[in-house]
Structure formats: structure tokens, C-alpha cells
Chain A
Amino acid sequence: MKGLVIGGGVAGLRAALDIANAGFDVYLVERDFSIGGRSAQIVKSYPDLINIKDVLKPLMEEVYNHGRITLLTNSEVLGLEGETGNFKVKIEKKPRYVPEGKSCEKCIEVCPVEVPNEFNERLDKRKAIFVPFSYAVPDGCVIDETNCLHFKDGSCSRCKEVCDGINFDQKAETIEIDVGSVVVATGFDPFDPNLRPELAYDKYDGVITSLELERILDEDGPTGGKIIINGEEPKSVVFAHCIGSRDKKVGNPYCSRICCMYTAKEAYMLREKLPNAEISVCYIDMRAFGKGCEQFYEEVQKKQVLYRRGVAAEVYSNGGNLVLRAEDTLLSEPYESAADMIVLAVGVEPREDSSELAETLGIKVDECGFFVEKNLYDPVETEKEGIFLAGCCQGPKEIADSIMQGGAAAAKAIGLMGRHSN
């Protein structure tokens, strides 16, 4: 009996490896060109500042090289029928057009198409033929057919002229697989701050999301790890908590759990790079509940990061200078803070298409769009036997919790498949 894991982020990787190491063959389906998920965009963990790449890269490679794991990237689940122990799953496998593995990347040089680079949160450009990110797995170039001129109007085949490996004739195929269990680990989307127009995210380049800052902090990122905003190093930075979290107005009444601490971590990393900058944080309540998190919060405060109680109210420009307005609720007085860079700590949202996937799989979503677990005592099961949940698709959580839940879901899937095998 085989298993299926949907989603190749940390939760899905952990689940696939655990199922495979227990002696079951497992399919891992990933929608993107590479596995790794959101964590691949993150530089360090909190509170212990571990380099994510050091943990994630070996995990991705282990999955890729594992004899019992069939990796299906650039693929999506289209349908599921049957019942526990005997699911039939329809999967669409889309082509990469370039063979997997290390490539010379000459094709990238000759490609005339430039589009925003999603991996770097659109801060820089990539070509229509590109390597998803520095340690992508599978390795090598891929073609994004929605932007490639060959697929648009047949007007270009420059990459093929420099590379014999490229095959424009590859077609998407739909396969059907038989599996005994399914682990759903499809992750999350970050909140779109344009839904809070008073924060002027769309209006000013100096207003960025926390995920954009994560890319800017990365040595492999669009600025090579230099903190540059509008061409200059910022002298003052304000972080704004709870953007798209605890906010009924945008349909997200819940706390996203991770923003207090990832902001503390980003403020810490920023202080290392900008020893003289003014750094402050607007918070409503500080939620530093994880192991070691309160201590880390204190450490960040001691690095002269000023925490001011009160949510960011609005952002405007005062003749070229950004100004953030808020109330200091401890002083009961509003204030204005000039800032070269304003970082919006965007919350965790369910994937845009989570309801569709729930319908395909026959599982439930809650009023916020997250998948619903069976009950308190069966926290990784769903009401549909044989389908398990892991990671942020079930609710906002940090990397460590997602990995744990991936392991827990795998254990349940292994148990179920073991029972059916005997």
C-alpha cells in the first residue's frame, strides 16, 4: 500500500520522509517547480536563529533521493475517489520542458522575457526560463509557459538554440494512482496588505511586507543581503504587527501566531546589519508563547528595538518622507513616527483555493478557510477517514510546529496503512 502527501513544504517533507522510512512507498505532489515551500523564503528560524537552508536543503535532497518517494513537482491533485485504504487519486503532471539536474544556464542569458520573481516576492526579475531558487529541488532550469514567448505566439526559441535538452513538445499528462492514505499539507498564503489601504502598501516603495524583508535579509536574495530601500540604507524602520490578523474587517478574526516572533527575529537581524538605525515595533499585545521566545523578545528589546503598544493606524508621505501614525496606548497619546522603511507583519491566510481542494478531497473548511481537524483527541485526522492534515493548511503555526504535525500525520497514515496491509 502506498501513501500520498500533498504539498512539499516542511510539513509535507517531514510526512513523506517518515512514511517512506517506515517502509511504505509514497507520492509527494507539489504544485511549484521545487519542493521546500514557504520556509525556503525564510533565512533564519526563531528564537534560536538556525539557518533554515542548513536544515531544509538536506531534507529536500533526502526526499529527492529516497528510493520510496516518488516526487511529482509542478503537479496538482485533480480528483479523489474511493475510501480509506483504497483511494484513487487523479493528478495532473505539468512539464518543465528542461531535464532535471544541474544545467549550464546559458538559456537564461538568451531569454528575452523578464517577469517579477515570485520567490523574491517580486522585488527583482527573473526570465521565463529560470532556476526557481538557489537550492531548488529538483535542480536545474524550468520554463514558465504562461510567460514564455514560444508558448504565447511561437515567436521565440532562443533557449532551444543554445540547449539541446529543451523539449517544447512535452505535454501535461493526467495520471491516476492508488493510495491508502493522504496527508494534506498545502500551506498558506500571506495576507494582501492592500486590503488595508490606509497603510499605503501599494503607494510607497518604502512600505514592504515582512516576507519581502525576509528576502532582503537573505544573502542569496535580490540585494545580496544588503538592506536597501529606495536605493539607500534606511536610518529608521518601523515594524507594524497584526496586519491582516485579529482583524474582522478583512475577514481574519484570528491571531496568526507567528508574526510577533518573526518580527522580533527580523528586528534582531536588522539590528545586526544596521547598528545605528532607529528600530521600533507597533504591537497590540506581545505573544511570545513558544519555548525560548519570551527570552528572545527581551534580547531584542535590549538591542534597542523600541516596542510601542498600539496598532499602526495609517501611513502617509510628508514630502517624500514616510510617516506612520499610531496611538501609544500606554501614554494614551497619538504620535507620528518618520520612517524610511515600514515593515508590515502580514498574517497567515488559507490558500486562496483551499475550499476547492477541500471539495475535491471531501474534507471541511472552517469559517476562516482552514481545513478542519476531526476533534481534540484526533488533531491530525479529518472527518474523512484516511485523510490527515499537517502544517498551516489546518491553521497558522510556526515551522517547528508544522514539522511536528507532519510527523504526527505520517504516524497516523503509517498506522492506518499498516492495519490495511495485515
Chain B
Amino acid sequence: MSLVEDIEECGWVFGKDTVDSLYACMQCGKCTGSCPSGRITGYRTRRLMNKVQSGDRSILEDPDIWLCTTCYTCYERCPREVKTTDVIRALRNVAAKEGHMSKAHRATAMYVIKTGHAVPINDATKKLRKKLGLSEIPPTTHKYPEALKAIQDISKKMKFDKLVGFDWNTMNLEDREEK
């Protein structure tokens, strides 16, 4: 399967229009010039779009594709209405499937499986909630352990745990070769 077909399949949730919009890219550089991540990292949106267009599979292993903060600035500004951010998100789905998910994203996924939260509660948040007149523990998996069980069942059923490499014995990530 071609890279674009892979992206379409793994990014089905965004719709076929998302990847198709990529063909309208005129390589103007509005995305790269607008990118907040690119100010401090090597992330280059236009170059990424160019590589996807030309079917260059090496980008699946490129750690840079995980540096997009999904702020959608490029998406908003693109003069050809390329759905840049969603293309990147769909592309990450392909990369994850092929075992190239970044360590930071795997760690976030681990917290979701372990706690039901990408960012679990901590003392500082508890204090802040109290200050704002809220219950210390939010009405989420933190309060309802049976809901956490449901999330973990879904993770197993969807093989999300395998995708991110979650080890149920250690309740932590398996060791993987990181790029």
C-alpha cells in the first residue's frame, strides 16, 4: 500500500478529504513560517507535507513528526486549505502502527491506561480545585474506579495497550528501541 493509502486507512476518522487536501499544497511555506514548534525545534511542516506528497516512507521513522503541538495555526492559515494538522495526526497513526510512536506520546498513553487521564491529578491540582470551590477529586476515573476498569477493557479490546507497548505486569511501558 502506498503511504497516502496507509494514511487514509489509519486516519479514517478524519475522512478521505483530509489526505486529499494535501494534493493542493503549493509549497508556499506559510505553515513552516507560522509554526510555533518550528521556532524552537527542527520541525518543518512544509517539508513534511512535501515528503508525504512524494510518498517518502522514511518520515514514519522521523522523530520530528511528533514535535507538532497540534495548535492548528498552519491549518487555519493555509491558503490552499490543506488540512495540515489532521494530515500529521493521521500520519502519526501510521507511524504508531509501525512501531514508531515517540516515547513522550507512549508515556501519555501509559497514563491513560493506568489512570484514565493523560495528565493524572496531583497535589497542586487538588489544591487549585479546592481553592476554586471544587471537590478535591474530580468526577472522573479518579473518583470512579469502575470507569477506569472500563477504559482498560477498551484499551485491551482495541489493542491500544499493544500499540503503545504497555506491560500489565509492571503497569509500565515495555522497553523499546527509541530513535
Contacts and interface: CB of A to CB of B under 8 A. Distances in A.
Interface of A: 198, 242, 246-249, 284-285, 309-314, 325-329, 332-334
Contacts of A249: 77-79, 81
11 contacts: A248-B80, A249-B81, A284-B28, A310-B28, A311-B29, A311-B79, A325-B34, A326-B29, A327-B29, A329-B46, A332-B32
B77 A198 contact: yes
Given A284-B26, A327-B31, A333-B44, 8 more contacts: A284-B27, A310-B28, A310-B33, A311-B29, A312-B33, A313-B77, A328-B29, A329-B29
Nearest to B35: A334
B33 A327 contact: yes
A284 B77 CA distance: 15
B39 interface: yes
Contacts of B29: 284, 309-311, 313, 326-329, 334
B179 to A, nearest CB: 21
Contacts of A248: 79-81
Nearest to B76: A249
Contacts of B99: none
B79 A247 contact: yes
A314 B29 CA distance: 11
Nearest to A313: B33
A284 B32 CA distance: 13
B57 interface: no
Contacts, number: 69
Contacts of B97: none
Interface string B10-38: 00000000000000001111111111001
Contacts of A314: 33-34
A329 B28 contact: yes
Contacts of A329: 27-29, 32, 46
B47 interface: yes
B34 A313 contact: yes
B81 A327 contact: no
A314 B39 CA distance: 13
A333 B170 CA distance: 43
Nearest to A284: B28
Contact of A334 (B32, B77, B79): B32
Which of A247, A309, A328 has most B Cβ within 10 Å? A247
A39 to B, nearest CB: 28
B168 to A, nearest CB: 43
B35 A332 contact: no
A333 B79 CA distance: 19
Nearest to A246: B79
Contacts of A246: 26, 28, 79-80
A25 B43 CA distance: 66
A332 to B, nearest CB: 5
A285 B32 CA distance: 17
Contacts of A333: 44
A325 B27 CA distance: 16
A43 to B, nearest CB: 29
A311 B80 contact: no
Nearest to B39: A334
Contact of B46 (A198, A242, A327): A327
Nearest to A332: B47
A246 B35 CA distance: 20
Contacts of A325: 33-34
